[in-house]
Amino acid sequence: MIHLKSAKREKYTLTDLAPEKSALNNAILRSKQKLILCSAAIAFSIVLSMSAFLVLQQHLGYLLLINACLLVHAWLCQAKLAPLIKLFIFQSLVTIGLYVLLYGQERLFEAVIVVTRIILVMLPSWWLASTQSSHQISQVLSLLLPTKWAFVVTTSIKVLPFIGQEARDIYHIQCLRGARITPKALMNPINWYELVKCVLFPLLIQLLSLSKHIAHSANQRHFDKSSTHTHWPLN
């Protein structure tokens, strides 16, 4: 176990950092505020989603109003409405279609209520995803999770672009090598095995080695030495 020389640390704090101290403190405060705000948003979206199941039909209007506010807020934050609209159309078609198929016109109103509730279940989640940065949400989660799994989650998010790029690169290179995995060739399920064999398999090998090396380098920086970890104050 390494012990840092605390004397040196103290000296440094007093001299070099004095003028910047207030700026840093502000930054730390801001990080904390953001974190609390994001936790609140997560809790709020969960409660709101749940209440879409539980609220009585005559009170559904209030819920609609709250959700409408969220919709406006998200829209002001320049969220993309397309996925929500797509979901709405798809849900309406399927549910109302099934109701009409089984019962004809008479229970159409019931079907509309059901669709509304489903949308109200989904909307807070969509609002959360489009207004809170993934960085903030992962920060909140990592405070709740055990250290190791928090590290796994944050690392996974960090390597996500790399994994995505790696997947694309390997796909392209195998296409160029003549593999039958072009979108057209994949219409035929027989070629799915080729996709698994020459894209997914090398990718898994990459992931195995990536996880080994990252684990190695994290442990080299004393990740496995103690069970309690502190957190870097700036986000």
Rank residues 39 and 124 by Cβ distance to other proteins and give the closer one: 124
Using CB under 8 A, pick the residue from 35, 64, 71, 129 that binds other proteins.
129
d(C-alpha 165, C-alpha 132), whole Å: 25
Residue closest to 73 by CA, chosen among 16, 132, 29: 132
The CB-of-204 to other proteins minimum distance in angstroms stands at: 7
d(C-alpha 38, C-alpha 46), whole Å: 12
Buried b / exposed e along 155-177 (16+ C-beta atoms within 10 A): eeeeeeeeeeebeeebbeebbee
**Of 166-205, which residues contact other proteins (CB under 8 A)?**
166-167, 169-170, 172-180, 182, 189, 192-193, 196-198, 200-205
Using CB under 8 A, pick the residue from 88, 95, 112, 191 that binds other proteins.
95
Identify whether the C-beta of residue 41 lies closer than 8 Å to the C-beta of residue 128. yes
The CB-of-81 to other proteins minimum distance in angstroms stands at: 13
The CB-of-68 to other proteins minimum distance in angstroms stands at: 18
d(C-alpha 209, C-alpha 166), whole Å: 13
Using CB under 8 A, pick the residue from 35, 64, 71, 215 that binds other proteins.
215
The CB-of-105 to other proteins minimum distance in angstroms stands at: 15
Using CB under 8 A, pick the residue from 36, 40, 46, 93 that binds other proteins.
46
